[in-house]
A = this chain, B = another copy of it.
Amino acid sequence: MPARGDHDARRADVSAAVWRVLAARGFGGLTLRAVAAEMGVSTGLLTHYFPNKRALVRHAVDVAERHTDARDRHAAAGEGRPALRAALLDVLPLTDEATVMSRVWVSYWDGALADEEFTADQRRRYDRWRARLRAHVDAALREAPGGPGADPDDLVATCAAFAHGLVVQALFDPAAFPAHRQVALLDRFLAGLIPA
């Protein structure tokens, strides 16, 4: 039996290899074989960590969430609209790091939709994201001239829709969606959504 420190170090190696596979090939390219090749070990050794594909995918989602939580974030200047803007900028592929993150999550949607447990997980992930956006939308509506008019949950769903749909277009056509255009599109979208 390896010592505890060795075990933890090996787990960290596995997680790092899983992330490199996700970043390069997305969830569709995530296999025990690919992770083993990335680590230079046998597939058999990996089955010690992941008895099956589901276990590997589950771990990969955790790894992707850790990377997402640890990413560079846009500074939220204040509350309400500026905070909402910063939160939406955080999901757009504006940098190489953010592009990898976006690409990994978009690649997850296919497999997640094909599996009830993963669909439910992703639904909860959307719920949590929309709840965070909701706090900013509520604050923005309090500051809006004329007061709150629209339903805040509808505004949140519309913001989330715009951001994720822009992510997909930008991933497929980075030349047509450079960072400055994505930011300009977001600013115009927000201006139309909630009067400043």
A residues contacting B by CB (< 8 A) are: 25-29, 103, 106-114, 119, 122-123, 126-127, 150, 154, 157-158, 160-169, 171-173, 177, 181, 184-185, 188-189, 192-193
A109 touches B161 (CB 8 A): no
B188 touches A110 (CB 8 A): no
Q: Which of B109, B126, B166, B172 contacts A107 (CB 8 A)?
A: B109
B109 touches A185 (CB 8 A): no
A172 touches B114 (CB 8 A): no
Residues of B within 8 A of A169 (CB): 126, 157, 160-161, 164
B173 touches A185 (CB 8 A): no
B185 touches A158 (CB 8 A): yes
Beyond A150-B188, A188-B150, is A25–B122 a contact (Cβ under 8 Å)?
no
Q: Which of B114, B157, B184, B188 contacts A28 (CB 8 A)?
A: B114
A167 to B157, CA, bound (A): 11
